[in-house]
Amino acid sequence: MYDQRLRVLASTGLAVGGILGMAGTFAPSSALRGLAWGIDGVALVMAGAILTVVFYRAGQDLVAAGFLILAIGEGIILSGAAMDLDASVPSFGAGTSLWAMALVLISVAPVFRFPIRILGLIAASLFVATALQIFAGIPLSPISSPLPFFVYPFFVATFFGWIWTLLKRGGLPNSGR
């Protein structure tokens, strides 16, 4: 019962993070974008921390590590939520590289259904491309197009796949321990 409540809380954090993250991308002002991305970031850090514990307890250490890295990456991204977009590029590059690694770790383990894992790997590959460009000196902001702008739908769709798995009856595999 307690584990179910944790999964609901984490799912709520993923949903809030996904919705406000996308909304912030389209916000008409930097103040609204900062507010949406600030709430989004806190919700995703919370969800990542809870899912680290949930999957660790279920014996899914690789997935747990992925959610831990997701929380760390989101924390780095959160540090630039209220900054000028150009000023946030270094932390955004670091955060997207960690998002990519998190998505790979979560998606390679056979915990989630195959289509959800493929969405995660597509998002991961596009975040790798984004991070590499930023690390190479190309100043991509969090709303640059085509990357990273077109990565977000894959990222958020992956969140909703995770939510679906977490909330369905018997959604997590038996412990591997």
Q: HEC string of 145-159? A: CCCCCCCHHHHHHHH
Q: What is the pTM of this model?
A: 0.93
Tens of pLDDT along 106-133? 999 999 999 999 999 999 999 999 999 9
The yes-or-no verdict on residue 163 having pLDDT over 90 is: yes
The yes-or-no verdict on residue 63 having pLDDT over 60 is: yes
Question: What's the chain's average pLDDT?
Answer: 93
Q: d(Cα 97, Cα 92) in Å, to the nearest integer?
A: 9
Torsion angles phi and psi, residue 104, rounded to 5: -65, -50
> Is there a contact between 14 and 162 (Cβ–Cβ < 8 Å)?
yes
- In 3D space, the residue among 3, 47, 7 whose CA is nearest the CA of residue 167 turns out to be 7
Tens of pLDDT along 8-58? 999 999 999 999 999 999 999 999 999 999 999 999 999 999 999 999 999
Instruction: Find all residues with CB under 8 Å of 29, minimum gap 6, and list them.
Output: none
> Is there a contact between 123 and 158 (Cβ–Cβ < 8 Å)?
yes
What's the average model confidence in pLDDT over 168-175? 60
Confidence tier at 85 by pLDDT (50, 70, 90): confident
> Is there a contact between 72 and 60 (Cβ–Cβ < 8 Å)?
no
**pLDDT exceeding 70 applies to what percent of the chain?**
94
Confidence tier at 175 by pLDDT (50, 70, 90): very low
End-to-end CA distance of the chain: 20
**What pLDDT is recorded for position 172?**
64
Please report where in the chains the tokens 């709520």 appear, as a residue. 12
Q: d(Cα 70, Cα 122) in Å, to the nearest integer?
A: 16
Q: d(Cα 154, Cα 146) in Å, to the nearest integer?
A: 13
The yes-or-no verdict on residue 82 having pLDDT over 50 is: yes
The yes-or-no verdict on residue 173 having pLDDT over 80 is: no
> Is there a contact between 69 and 101 (Cβ–Cβ < 8 Å)?
yes
